[in-house]
């Protein structure tokens, strides 16, 4: 339950900004959403389905549409497939509460069904990027310790052998698991406590080490409770298209929210701008969820966009990285009737903790919106640790029922991110204005954000240092209008070495996922470092942007 506020605290909260002058804490200006009690509770699937069954439109509503084929699944069929699959996995495979399932697949209409089947059983869901290399997947499997994997036939060879055989999502056998009722075995109801582990997502820190982010059931019930409240007030049927991968925290949240609010989900396997436009036109899509580079691509393709009827489109939701103001201005001019809703979240926060949710709020270009229900924030001076009032820049700290439980088997990293009072340090510089709107300034952390994906510089630097012809190296984010940021390397050759840029790029490309590849290489005489040996990345960024790399 949300913490009770004292009368003194309530009276000290500015109704415009949400800032409490006594506690120095910012409070959400949105109505609080009811949360279930912490003791034993039904699974998220049962919780959401019980709400859907109260909706008279359930029988005729469409849950899923496959963009490539037009094949659809109604909500009654969706619920039945979830239960059929859960029953099969429980009785035939032997999965039970607490087991971990590793999922390696691009977006498909099977993924939401699989997610909700695993939710029903209390099986911990652990989706990963199908573009990851075998080495990267091995690290993730080592962290999450799954007993079973679900994958497509094209990429299943990347997986190690687990306790149960891998189930192929594009096989006829899997289709039968979803569509064939079992007459002999009943589906046991699983009680799920709100504090129990529900999902393990993957995030990279500045050390370059992949981390498993533990998300509890509380995250999803808090998010769905808030989403259902907003949905009831809108009372409009949404046809949504999520072109963000379902393994990503943004895409995962969109998937859960869509079912909770009985949206129609149109599913594209991979992003393609023209295919996205055709899909919007063909299926009368009203809402799309995209990464910032898609917003940029839409502003650059006026001729391509002009050939399609996009009159059904009402909302474009963007999250995962900041959008440059130039692109925002272009979007507003090109799509004057479309609400561009920006949000802020990170894997460790579970879901978005700030968002613009109305046309008026979306006019605040550059803002990621106001705090979500049941969410509080602090703006902390990075140097002094002092809590700051509106309009002053500092690190954003968040306290919310959606934040992670911690990192898998990494108490040190958990303690560095979550303090003893439950506040999560985001590592991002923000300010909050006098009307409670959050504005992102820059990243304090060193992660590179390439098209919404996290690229840890230290991981790439470790690989560069392993090359026999490289003496020293540093990797920085370089501004890019389309991708947001690209990884750029500064390299010091070993004496008598003659390694070239193309060789370095190929060397890295063979060992990492495509989004982590180094896009540019500068050869320098030395890497600037401070007295303790820490790389002065800001100096490198400044020099790279100015073009004065010859000074190094």
The string of DSSP letters for 407-426 reads: ETT-HHHHHHHB-TTSPEEE
Q: What φ, ψ does residue 428 adopt, rounded to 5°?
A: -120, 140
Cα 408 to Cα 123, 144, 199: the distances in Å are 16, 7, 11
Q: How far apart are CA 37 and CA 145, in angstroms?
A: 29
The whole-number pLDDT of residue 415 equals 95
Tokens of 429: 């510089």
DSSP 8-class letter at 90 = I
Domain count, the chain: 2
Q: How far is CA 2 from CA 146, 221, 405, in A?
A: 33, 13, 17
146-162 tens-digit pLDDT: 999 999 999 999 999 99
What is the C-alpha separation between 96 and 118, in angstroms, rounded?
9
Asked, for residue 126, whether it belongs to a domain, the answer is yes
Q: Distance (Å, rounded) from C-alpha 356 to C-alpha 362?
A: 5
Residue 324 has pLDDT above 50, yes or no: yes
Does 1 have pLDDT greater than 50?
A: no
Residue 238, token pair as written in the block: 């949404």
Q: Which of 203, 235, 267 is the last residue of a domain?
A: 235
**pLDDT for the residue numbered 298:** 87
In a domain, 424, yes or no: no
Query: Higher-confidence residue: 421 or 205?
Result: 421
**Tokens 């002009």 -> residue:** 306
Query: In whole numbers, what is the pLDDT of the chain averaged over residues?
Result: 89
Domain boundary among 235, 256, 288: 235
Q: Per-residue pLDDT averaged across 333-344, rounded?
A: 91
Quickly state the pLDDT bin for 38 (edges 50, 70, 90). low
Q: Is 4 within the bounds of a domain?
A: no
Whether 303 shows a pLDDT value over 80: the answer reads: no
Question: Which pLDDT does position 199 carry in this prediction?
Answer: 98
Residue 467 lies in a domain: yes
Among 235, 259, 291, the domain-final residue is 235
pLDDT at 3 over 60: no
Q: What angle in degrees, to the nearest 10, is found between the helix axes of 75-88 and 110-121?
A: 50
In a domain, 335, yes or no: no
Please, are residues 255 and 78 in contact by the beta-carbon 8 Å criterion? no
* Distance of alpha carbon 293 from the chain centroid: 15
CATH number at residue 166: 3.40.50.980
Residue 421 above 50 pLDDT? Answer: yes
Nearest Cα residue to 230 out of 263, 199, 198, 255: 263
Q: Is residue 89 part of a domain?
A: yes
Whether residue 441 lies inside any domain: the answer is no
Mean pLDDT of 83-110: 96
Range list of H helices, 418-517: 457-465, 501-509
pTM here is 0.84
Percent of the chain with pLDDT over 70: 92
Query: Which of the two residues, 400 and 530, has the higher pLDDT score?
Result: 400
Containing 511, the helix (H) or strand (E) segment is none
- Let me know if 303 is exposed, middle or buried by CB neighbors in 10 A (0-12, 13-18, 19+): exposed
Range of the domain at 532: 448-551
Q: What is the pLDDT of residues 225-282, one digit of tens each?
A: 888 877 766 667 899 999 999 999 999 999 999 999 999 999 999 888 899 999 999 9
- CATH number of the CATH domain containing 460: 3.30.300.30
Looking at the domain assignment, is residue 362 inside a domain?
no
- pLDDT digits 0-9 by tens, 166-210: 999 999 999 999 999 877 678 888 888 888 999 999 986 444 578
């Amino acid at each position: 339950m949300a913490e009770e506020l004292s009368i003194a605290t309530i009276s000290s909260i500015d109704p415009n900004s949400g800032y409490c002058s006594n506690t120095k804490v910012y409070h959400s200006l949105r109505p609080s959403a009811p949360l279930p009690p912490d003791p034993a509770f039904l699974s998220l699937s049962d919780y959401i389905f019980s709400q859907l069954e109260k909706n008279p439109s359930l029988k005729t509503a469409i849950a899923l549409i496959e963009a490539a084929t037009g094949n659809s699944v109604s909500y009654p069929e969706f619920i039945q497939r979830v239960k059929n699959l859960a029953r099969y996995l429980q009785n035939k495979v032997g999965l039970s509460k607490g087991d971990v399932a590793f999922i390696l697949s691009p977006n498909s209409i099977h993924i939401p069904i699989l997610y909700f089947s695993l939710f029903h059983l209390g099986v911990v869901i652990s989706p990963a990027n199908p573009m990851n290399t075998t080495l990267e997947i091995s690290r993730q499997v080592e962290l999450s310790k799954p007993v079973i994997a679900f994958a497509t036939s094209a990429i299943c060879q990347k997986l190690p052998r687990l306790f149960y055989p891998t189930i192929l999502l594009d096989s006829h056998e899997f289709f039968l698991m979803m569509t064939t009722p079992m007459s002999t075995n009943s589906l046991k109801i699983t009680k799920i406590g709100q504090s129990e582990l529900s999902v393990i997502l993957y995030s990279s820190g500045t050390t370059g080490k992949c981390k498993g982010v533990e998300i509890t059931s509380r995250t999803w019930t808090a998010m769905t409770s808030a989403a259902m409240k907003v949905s009831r007030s809108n009372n409009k049927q949404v046809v949504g298209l999520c072109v963000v991968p379902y393994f990503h925290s943004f895409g995962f949240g969109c998937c859960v929210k869509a079912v909770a609010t009985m949206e129609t989900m149109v599913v594209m396997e991979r992003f393609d701008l023209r295919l996205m436009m055709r899909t919007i036109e063909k299926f009368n899509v009203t809402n799309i969820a995209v990464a910032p580079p898609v917003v940029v691509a839409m502003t650059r393709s006026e001729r391509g966009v002009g050939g399609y009827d996009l009159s059904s489109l009402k909302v474009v939701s963007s999250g995962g990285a900041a959008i440059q103001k130039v692109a925002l201005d272009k979007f507003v001019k090109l799509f004057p009737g479309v609400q561009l809703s920006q949000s802020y979240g990170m894997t460790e926060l579970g879901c978005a903790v700030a968002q613009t949710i109305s046309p008026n709020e979306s006019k605040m270009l550059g803002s990621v919106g106001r705090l979500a229900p049941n969410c509080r924030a602090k703006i902390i001076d990075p140097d002094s640790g002092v809590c700051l009032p509106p309009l002053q820049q500092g690190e954003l700290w968040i306290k919310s029922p959606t934040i992670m439980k911690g990192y898998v088997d990494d108490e040190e990293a958990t303690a560095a991110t979550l303090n003893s009072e439950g506040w999560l340090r985001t590592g991002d510089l923000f300010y909050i204005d006098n009307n409670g709107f959050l504005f992102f300034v820059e990243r304090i952390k060193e992660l590179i954000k390439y098209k919404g994906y996290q690229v840890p510089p230290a991981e790439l630097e470790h690989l560069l240092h392993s090359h026999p012809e490289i003496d020293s190296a540093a990797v920085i984010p370089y501004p890019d209008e389309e991708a947001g940021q690209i990884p750029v390397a500064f390299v010091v050759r070993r004496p008598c070495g003659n390694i070239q840029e193309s060789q370095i790029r190929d060397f890295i490309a063979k060992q990492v996922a495509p989004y982590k590849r180094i896009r540019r290489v500068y050869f320098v005489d030395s890497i600037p470092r401070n007295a303790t040996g820490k790389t002065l990345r800001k100096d490198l960024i400044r020099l790279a942007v100015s073009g004065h790399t010859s000074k190094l």
